[in-house]
């Protein structure tokens, strides 16, 4: 037994009769000394008899020696049992017999590494290099130890030196070439590392946190990486919006984002107070997060916050939160029942820089704009507002217009105004560019026309108009939009010069005649036209629209017309050079001829053509069209069991 | 008019002035030196790397000089490496870093951009384990620490 070393492994204590002679002094100290120990001249031993494990034991063995191979075997066994200290001692013994054996040195260096005695391991590795400068093993071991000592530069140098000096036939040479330090964080100066990380997205940077401590430390130290915390599943950014979706109202992000919890957010804001905090539909986040953020003083720089359909955030914490976020510009709290009138009032009071606000489907009523409507919030540009269960009266809209006089975008698709007359005062929004409504009730088309006239008088440059499913939409409305009405002093020319998006889908009283008016008074800037399922519109009307106003048309949706045939497709081919998206589902008479004609001419720009439920288009025609488009275009040709 | 460049291991390279001037450093040097024919020493660039750099400059000798655009969104830029550049950058990691460092020293911005984008592309779309393997990085987190970080950043797995 090795005196001075506690026997940690069962292997050694279980050793019984060893067939090999042991040095007498050691045998006599062993508790279970077998009777085989022979008497022999006392060996020369120098060792210190302290009880610690880090004793170095130098033993000069007597002439009857343990063969090296057995020692190596024992050392290997000890290694596998993770008893590195014992392995070290065995190997040391072996090395006294064969001090220049490179493999023994390598194994000993390995065990020293594991014990933690890196300096000694390095010494061994250096002896390996001294003894056999052509063998890569020495360099590999030395480089590995240096790396463990965090000395990367020397490590890289040794690997390179090794690669140069070793003979290339050796199979270890490949390992040497592979083992260089290639961590960009080590090799490149910090400005360049920053350039590399700048071109990654936020998520990718977060994934890099776990790579190594050095990476985490570096990433954590660069503040501007953490200014914008974007955890939402949907990644909206102006860079990624395709051209054909430019004028569509924002598609709601409804996918629940359940992996985001309070802890997640708090762990990401620790680097710097964020400017943007987008959590998507994070339904596991609770009020505690807001309180914590305020306490940690992480809210002072906050400009954008987005948290949708979250039921765990409550009124009280929300109201208090705004007092710590004076710089807020964009707030998106769609679908959070914790957002009440009190919360909205508190927000409008405390955040004078507010520009965008989405509180649709929250628990708000008219009261939130009617209180304090005399103090306008001039910075407000974009408002998404309304809850179906809470109908909005005219007074509410008036108050809204007074409160936000500089609105540019108003999305009240989720609102139920008490009739279209309630929306009359929208005409006072001089800067309005985008107006989205849905299913507005109306008593008749005259009221609607009247309201539209008010709008035309007050709003000079409307770019988007959506009035889905409104019974009041009639042919006179098209005339007004395209030609204005010359009865008033202003002699407005309608919105023909500015209108880019028009959505009058599901208008039951719109007819082809109304659309034909556009032949003489076109809408030249029209980019997006949605006219799905208007019961009284026929193909002729659509053809007139396309022929007169198709010059800039990028997105056209006219699904659900039994009369639509190849003639319309030919017109699109002829008059719409910029067309990208076509929705022609349920078109009764479209065939492969029209499809091929369109695809052959406009195929390069086409992004999507939807021909679902078009029974008259053959499958082979669709295939041919798909081959023409190659990968760039997509044609949808599915069949559902829909009823019209 | 040929210019002679000398690498750190004393190897000489003869290149056209136009090609050499893709490097702003060399351009400035030439302006200072004037019409003399003396070779330009580049003590920080070895011969193998200098060969590669010269190859790049030769191919791009006719490119317009890029005005640095401050408003350029850095996130957009990573996708558009041209095909020749991509093939050019298919070297081992060691050489990639050397090229980037040389481009930094010689002040050749387009080459520097391409190099950094290439490194970024190596990082993109890989799991942490794959990134470690690509760059030979030792994971020095304890298993508990690693598990905790992973748990905190679970959300990143889906995107």
The whole-number pLDDT of residue A638 equals: 86
Nearest-Cα distance to chain A for B19, in Å, is 24
Gap between the Cα atoms of A555 and B22, Å rounded: 45
pLDDT at A7 > cutoff 60: no
Which of A141-155, A315-329, A619-633 ranks highest by mean pLDDT? A315-329
For A483-512, what is the mean pLDDT?
A: 81
Mapped to the 3 state alphabet, what secondary structure does B97-154 carry? Answer: HHHHHHHHHHCCHHHHHHHHHHHHHHHCCCCHHHHHHHHCCCCCCCHHHHHHHHHHCH
The whole-number pLDDT of residue A41 equals: 47
For A606-613, what is the mean pLDDT?
A: 90
Which of A 110-169 lie inside 8 A of B, CB atoms?
Answer: 147-148
How remote is the C-alpha of A454 from its chain's centroid?
A: 44
Q: What are the backbone angles phi and psi of residue A356, rounded to the nearest 5°?
A: -130, 135
The whole-number pLDDT of residue A366 equals: 86
Query: In A, which residues are within 8 Å of B91 by CB distance?
Result: none
Q: Which of A39-53, A395-409, A594-608 has the lowest mean pLDDT?
A: A39-53
Nearest-Cα distance to chain B for A237, in Å, is 11
| Mean pLDDT score of chain A | 83
Nearest-Cα distance to chain B for A145, in Å, is 12
Query: In A, which residues are within 8 Å of B109 by CB distance?
Result: none
- Whole-prediction pTM: 0.72
Is B100 close to A188, i.e. CB distance below 8 A? yes
Residue of A nearest to B151 (CA): A264
Is B128 close to A207, i.e. CB distance below 8 A? yes
DSSP tag of A297? T
The residue among A212, A184, A186, A214 whose CA lies nearest residue A197 is A184
Instruction: Give CA separation, A205 vs A208, A229, B25, B72, B79, in Å.
Output: 5, 11, 33, 20, 17
Gap between the Cα atoms of A263 and A277, Å rounded: 14
Nearest-Cα distance to chain A for B103, in Å, is 11
Is A207 close to B150, i.e. CB distance below 8 A? no
The whole-number pLDDT of residue A499 equals: 93
Q: What are the backbone angles phi and psi of residue A470, rounded to the nearest 5°?
A: -105, 125
The residue among A467, A474, A466 whose CA lies nearest residue A449 is A474
Tokens 């107006």 sit at which residue?
A: A435
Q: Is B137 within 8 Å of chain A by CB? A: yes
Query: In A, which residues are within 8 Å of B159 by CB distance?
Result: 203, 233, 235
Query: In A, which residues are within 8 Å of B75 by CB distance?
Result: 198-199, 201, 239
Is A188 close to B131, i.e. CB distance below 8 A? no
Task: Give the nearest partner residue to B74 out of A183, A199, A208, using CB atoms.
Answer: A199
The residue among A134, A152, A135 whose CA lies nearest residue A143 is A152
For B71-100, what is the mean pLDDT?
A: 75
The whole-number pLDDT of residue A240 equals: 66
Helix/strand/coil percent split, chain A, to 5: 40, 10, 50
The whole-number pLDDT of residue A200 equals: 87
How many CA atoms lie less than 13 Å away from A342 in the CB half-sphere? Answer: 10
Task: Give the nearest partner residue to B137 out of A201, A204, A211, using CB atoms.
Answer: A211
Coil, helix or strand for A589? strand
> Would you give the end-to-end CA distance of chain A in angstroms?
92
Nearest-Cα distance to chain B for A182, in Å, is 5
Q: Is A184 within 8 Å of chain B by CB? A: yes
Q: Is B87 within 8 Å of chain A by CB? A: no
The whole-number pLDDT of residue A312 equals: 93
């Amino acid at each position: 037994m090795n005196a001075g070393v506690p026997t940690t492994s069962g292997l050694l204590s279980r050793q019984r009769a060893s067939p090999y002679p042991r040095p007498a002094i050691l045998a006599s100290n062993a508790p279970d000394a077998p009777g085989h120990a022979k008497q022999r001249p006392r060996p020369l031993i120098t060792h210190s008899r302290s009880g610690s494990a880090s004793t170095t034991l130098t033993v000069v063995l007597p002439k009857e020696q343990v063969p090296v191979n057995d020692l190596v075997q024992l050392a290997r066994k000890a290694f596998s049992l993770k008893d590195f200290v014992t392995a070290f001692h065995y190997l040391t013994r072996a090395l006294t017999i064969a001090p220049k054996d490179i493999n023994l040195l390598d194994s000993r260096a390995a065990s020293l590494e594991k014990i933690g005695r890196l300096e000694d391991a390095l010494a061994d590795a250096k002896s390996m290099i001294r003894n056999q400068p052509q063998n890569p093993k020495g360099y590999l071991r030395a480089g590995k130890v240096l790396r463990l000592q965090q000395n990367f530069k020397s490590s890289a140098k040794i690997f390179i030196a090794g690669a140069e000096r070793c003979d290339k036939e050796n199979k270890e040479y490949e390992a040497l070439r592979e083992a260089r330090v290639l961590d960009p964080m080590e090799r490149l100066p910090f400005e360049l590392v920053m350039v590399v990380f700048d071109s990654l997205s936020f998520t990718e940077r977060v994934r890099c946190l776990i790579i190594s401590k050095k990476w985490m430390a570096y990433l954590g130290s660069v503040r501007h990486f953490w200014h914008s915390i974007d955890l939402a599943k949907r990644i909206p950014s102006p860079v990624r919006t395709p051209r054909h979706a430019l004028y569509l109202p924002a598609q709601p992000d409804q996918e629940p984002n359940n992996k985001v919890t309070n802890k997640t957010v708090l762990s990401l804001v620790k680097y710097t107070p964020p400017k943007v905090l987008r959590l998507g539909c994070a339904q596991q986040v609770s009020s505690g997060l807001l309180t914590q953020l305020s306490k940690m003083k992480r809210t002072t720089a906050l400009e954008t916050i987005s948290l949708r359909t979250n039921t765990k955030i409550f009124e009280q914490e929300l109201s208090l939160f705004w007092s710590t976020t004076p710089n807020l510009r964009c707030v998106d709290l769609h679908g959070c029942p914790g957002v009440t009138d009190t919360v909205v009032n508190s927000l409008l009071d405390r955040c004078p820089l507010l520009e965008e606000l989405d509180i649709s489907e929250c628990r708000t009523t008219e009261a939130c704009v009617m209180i304090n409507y005399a103090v306008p919030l001039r910075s407000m540009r974009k408002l998404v507002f309304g809850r179906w269960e809470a109908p909005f009266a005219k007074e509410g809209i008036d108050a809204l217009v007074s409160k936000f006089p500089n609105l540019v975008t108003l999305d009240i698709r989720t609102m139920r105004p008490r009739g279209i007359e309630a929306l009359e005062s929208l005409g006072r929004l001089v800067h309005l560019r985008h107006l989205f409504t849905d299913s507005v009730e109306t008593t008749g088309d005259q009221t609607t026309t009247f309201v539209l006239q008010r709008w035309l008088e007050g709003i000079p440059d409307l770019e988007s108009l959506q009035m889905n499913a409104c019974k009041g939409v009639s042919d006179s409305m098209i005339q007004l939009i395209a030609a204005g009405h010359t009865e008033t002093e202003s002699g407005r020319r309608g919105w023909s010069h500015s209108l880019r998006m028009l959505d009058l889908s599901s208008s039951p009283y719109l007819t082809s005649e109304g659309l034909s008016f556009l032949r003489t008074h076109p809408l030249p800037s029209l980019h997006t036209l949605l006219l799905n399922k208007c019961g009284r519109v026929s193909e002729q009307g659509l053809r007139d629209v396309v022929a007169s106003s198709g010059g800039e048309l990028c997105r056209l949706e006219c699904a659900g017309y039994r009369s639509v045939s190849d003639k319309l497709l030919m017109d699109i081919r002829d008059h719409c050079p910029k067309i990208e998206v076509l929705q022609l589902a349920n078109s009764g008479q479209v065939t492969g001829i029209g499809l091929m004609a369109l695809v052959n001419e406009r195929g390069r720009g086409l992004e999507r053509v939807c021909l679902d439920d078009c029974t008259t288009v053959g499958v082979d025609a669709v295939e041919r069209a798909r081959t023409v488009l190659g990968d760039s275009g997509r044609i949808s040709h599915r069949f559902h069991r829909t009823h019209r | 008019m040929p210019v002679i460049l000398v690498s750190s291991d004393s190897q000489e390279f003869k290149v056209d002035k136009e090609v050499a001037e893709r490097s702003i450093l060399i351009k400035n040097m030439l302006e200072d030196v004037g019409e003399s024919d003396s070779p330009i020493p580049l003590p920080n660039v070895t011969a193998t790397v200098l060969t590669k750099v010269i190859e790049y400059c030769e191919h791009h000798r006719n490119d317009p000089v890029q005005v640095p655009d401050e408003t350029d969104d850095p996130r957009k830029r990573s996708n558009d490496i041209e095909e020749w550049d991509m093939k050019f950058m298919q070297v081992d990691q060691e050489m990639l870093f050397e090229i980037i460092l040389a481009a930094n020293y010689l002040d050749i911005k387009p080459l520097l951009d391409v190099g950094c984008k290439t490194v970024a592309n190596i990082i993109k779309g890989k799991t942490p384990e794959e990134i470690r393997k690509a760059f030979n990085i030792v994971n020095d987190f304890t298993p508990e620490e690693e598990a905790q970080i992973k748990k905190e950043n679970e959300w990143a797995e889906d995107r």
